[in-house]
């Protein structure tokens, strides 16, 4: 597994300052820069998928219904079927060369690029790594590694542009949960979502301009991962932050109103989720004569099963079946240098006083 050790720090930084038989080794102090992504299964076989989905769907931030009702349904019904169907979808997009999911491959590339920039800026005072909320590398293992390496401070950046309970909040929950087990707890700074940042919006707009060769499309569907509508009514700001992302993107592109449609995908279960549903909306567009559309997915910092298989597979098929011809999927920002620079700037603003120029 690749982590920050791929970007070597000077040897002196690895030598403990205390190393006596009657004293534990104490490493020179560093600041950890930890980026957190959602997680992904270790494989697409039944048991890997079951382990991953069990951890994910047992999280109360993700599914908040009463445990006495939810757990029997999850263990006896959902986890007997979904590992097969989801596993088959993961198989379609799997990175067979590295034997890992695209989300993991891309998160590694983002971390490597960010580590390079951070070491150029702060030298060996910082250690850069990534962790996953579900699956591997776990938040627990990476925090342990950072603490062992001497990190007394950690800047924690969940890789979600918009805040949501099932993503940003649960990443923070997990970080603080693993901190409960640390004897010498590092100080923590958690980073707020970056939806309002002009550099992020510009990076997104530039990716649209590049993909469309500067042309203004008749329709750009901005499809965000969905969540139960109930979560919005309980006060989760995700829905509003998605609407805001679409508005800021339109303003940055200088487009008139009416070109970008905001929709929500990945409905799970029978409850009502945020609307409009992407799959229905694109079919409706095709029926109305919008047979040439572009689609972007600004809730994801990295391409993953939800974009590569759901948007560019299932949703594209629904569009074509309804009479659509051209369906252009615009990739996530992934390891686009502009995206990594946004991460670096976000870190710079949050690391204040904890690291000095190298």
Ligand X SMILES: C=CC1=C(C)c2cc3[nH]c(cc4nc(cc5[nH]c(cc1n2)c(C)c5CCC(=O)O)C(CCC(=O)O)=C4C)c(C)c3C=C
Q: Minimum distance between the CB of residue 314 and ligand X, rounded to whole angstroms?
A: 11
d(CA 243, CA 8): 41
Asked if the bond preceding 137 is cis, omega within 30° of 0, the reply is yes
Question: 271 a known binding residue?
Answer: no
With CB under 5 to 8 Å by kind, the binding choice for 240 among Fe ion, ligand X, none is: Fe ion
Which CB atom, from 232 or from 322, has the smaller least distance to Fe ion?
A: 232
Residues in the chain: 358
Which CB atom, from 126 or from 304, has the smaller least distance to ligand X?
A: 304
Decide if residue 269 touches Fe ion (CB under 5 A): no
The conformational region for residue 181 under phi > 0 = left, psi -120 to 50 = alpha, else beta, is: alpha
With CB under 5 to 8 Å by kind, the binding choice for 330 among ligand X, Fe ion, none is: none
Decide if residue 240 touches Fe ion (CB under 5 A): yes
With CB under 5 to 8 Å by kind, the binding choice for 84 among ligand X, Fe ion, none is: none
With CB under 5 to 8 Å by kind, the binding choice for 278 among Fe ion, ligand X, none is: none
Q: Are 160 and 301 in contact (CB under 8 A)?
A: yes
Question: 306 a known binding residue?
Answer: yes
Q: Are 342 and 203 in contact (CB under 8 A)?
A: yes
Q: Are 31 and 147 in contact (CB under 8 A)?
A: no
Which CB atom, from 160 or from 277, has the smaller least distance to ligand X?
A: 160
Nearest of 338, 312, 57, 93 to residue 207 by alpha carbon? 338
Which CB atom, from 166 or from 217, has the smaller least distance to Fe ion?
A: 166
Tokens coding 292: 């040439």
Max intra-chain CA distance, the chain: 78
Nearest of 108, 92, 85 to residue 35 by alpha carbon? 108
Q: Minimum distance between the CB of residue 109 and ligand X, rounded to whole angstroms?
A: 15
Torsion of CA 244, 247, 252, 253, to 10 degrees: 140
- Contact letters (x/-) for Fe ion, 200-239, by CB under 5 A? ---------------------------------------x
- List residues near ligand X by CB under 6 A: 38, 40, 53, 56-57, 62-63, 82, 86, 101, 103, 160, 164, 166-167, 225, 227, 238, 266, 268, 299-300, 304-306
With CB under 5 to 8 Å by kind, the binding choice for 239 among Fe ion, ligand X, none is: Fe ion
Residue numbering of the annotated binding site for Fe(2+): 225, 306
């Amino acid at each position: 597994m690749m982590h920050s050790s791929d970007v070597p720090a000077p040897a002196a930084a690895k030598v403990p300052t205390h190393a006596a038989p009657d004293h534990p080794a104490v490493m020179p102090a560093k600041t950890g820069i930890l980026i957190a992504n959602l997680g992904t299964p270790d494989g697409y076989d039944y048991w890997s998928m079951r382990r991953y989905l069990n951890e994910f769907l047992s999280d109360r931030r993700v599914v908040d219904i009463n445990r006495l009702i939810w757990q029997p349904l999850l263990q006896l019904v959902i986890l007997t079927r979904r590992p097969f169907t989801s596993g088959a979808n993961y198989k379609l997009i799997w990175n067979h060369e590295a034997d890992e999911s695209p989300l993991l491959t891309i998160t590694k590339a983002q971390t490597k690029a960010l580590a390079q920039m951070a070491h150029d800026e702060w030298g060996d005072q910082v250690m850069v790594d990534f962790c996953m909320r579900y699956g591997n590398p776990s938040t627990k293992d990476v925090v342990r590694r950072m603490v062992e390496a001497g990190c007394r401070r950690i800047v924690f950046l969940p890789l979600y542009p918009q805040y949501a309970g099932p993503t940003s909040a649960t990443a923070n929950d997990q970080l603080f949960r693993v901190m409960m087990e640390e004897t010498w707890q590092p100080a923590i700074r958690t980073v707020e979502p970056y939806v309002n940042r002009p550099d992020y919006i510009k990076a997104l707009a530039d990716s649209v301009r590049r993909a469309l060769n500067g042309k203004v499309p008749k329709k750009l569907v901005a499809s965000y991962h969905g969540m139960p509508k109930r979560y919005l009514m309980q006060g989760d700001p995700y829905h509003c932050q998605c609407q805001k992302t679409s508005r800021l993107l339109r303003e940055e592109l200088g487009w008139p109103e009416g070109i970008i449609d905001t929709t929500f995908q990945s409905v799970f279960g029978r409850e009502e989720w945020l609307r409009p549903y992407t799959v229905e909306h694109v079919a409706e567009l095709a029926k109305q004569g919008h047979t040439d559309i572009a689609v972007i997915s600004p809730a994801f910092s990295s391409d993953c099963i939800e974009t590569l298989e759901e948007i560019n597979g299932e949703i594209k098929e629904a569009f074509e079946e309804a009479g659509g011809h051209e369906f252009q999927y615009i990739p996530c920002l992934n390891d686009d240098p502009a995206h990594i620079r946004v991460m670096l700037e976000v870190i710079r603003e949050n690391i204040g006083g904890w690291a000095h120029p190298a």
